[in-house]
Structure 1
Amino acid sequence: MALVKAGVVVLDCAEPEKLAVFYKELLDAEQTHESANRVEIRGADGIRLGFRRDVNATPPSWPRPENALQAHLDFVVEDLDEAERKIVGLGGRPLETKDASGPYEERGYADPAGHSFTLRLVPSTAPKQG
């Protein structure tokens, strides 16, 4: 029998209820837990996210000038433009990148509390042409 039953990625934020709504709408998720300082959701594909109240939380800076890596979330989507419209409509924002020209297979965003996440296109299963 496994000692650990499940894992949850938890984001610290000043207002967990509001941040949970952002991700709940983005991931078409259901709320599974709420207490005074924590909200948890589960997406249709099983992803579990938690949001913990930290009244002193400050948004992470990304990308950092020294280009240090930070933890962030990655989500796979079929349509980057459609997903971006939804993210912006929910209060998220695109993040600047060093080279923002041309089409990309992935794009970076920040949620309303400033946590970074990336959208990646579902890899094509069609055979290469030519």
Structure 2
Amino acid sequence: MSLVNAGVVVLDCAEPEKLAMFYKELLQARETDVTANLVQIRAADRLRLAFRRDANATPPSWPRPENSLQAHLDFLVEDLDAAERRVVELGGRPVEAKDAPGPYEERGCSDPAGHTFTLRRIPQAGPKQG
């Protein structure tokens, strides 16, 4: 038996109920624990996220250095365009980063409270080229 069985990523925010709803809808998750200051959700793939009330929470400023990332989440998706549209429908927004590298196989976004995350295309298994 392992000493630590599972972890939870916790995001501080002013309104945990609203932020939990954003991620609950985005990940098609369910609430597992709700208290006055914490809402926890679990996605179908067992990912657990929690949202803790902090009246003084300030959004990260990434890509500007002054408040940096604080936390960063990556979500694997098959269709970047559809996933980005869903983020916007739920109240999130795309984050434009200067000098984004590569062939845009990922997109930066932020949730309604300003926490950034990345939508990353699931690598397609295909025949090897060359």
Partner of 1:79: 79
Aligned-pair identity in percent equals 74
Pairs aligned (count): 129
Partner residue in 2 for 1:91: 91
- What amino acid is aligned across from residue 45 of structure 2 in structure 1? D
* Alignment partner, residue 54 of structure 1: 54
Report Cα offsets for 1:20-64 as digits up to 9, x if no partner. Answer: 000000000010000000000000001000000000101010112
Q: Give the match's secondary structure for 1:85.
A: helix
Match of 2:112 in 1: 112
SS at 1:18's partner residue? helix
Distance in 2, matches of 1:22 and 1:99, equals 28
In structure 2, the gaps of 5 or more residues are none
CA spacing shift, 1:91–1:14, aligned 2, 3 Å = same
Letter paired with 1:63:
P
Tell me the CA shift for residue 102 of structure 1.
8.8
Q: Secondary structure at the match of 2:26?
A: helix
Displacement of 1:128 after TM fit? 3.6
How far apart are the structure 1 equivalents of 2:58 and 2:97? 21
Residue 41 of structure 2 corresponds to 41
**Kept after mapping to 1: 8 A contact 2:71/2:115:** no
Normalization by structure 1: what TM-score? 0.91
- After the TM superposition, which segments of 4 or more aligned residues of structure 1 sit over 2 Å from their partners? 68-71, 99-103
Equivalence for 1:28: 28
Structure 1: gaps spanning 5 or more residues: none
The TM-score with structure 2 as length reference comes to 0.91
Counterpart secondary structure, 2:82: helix
Distance in 1, Cα, partners of 2:55 & 2:99: 34
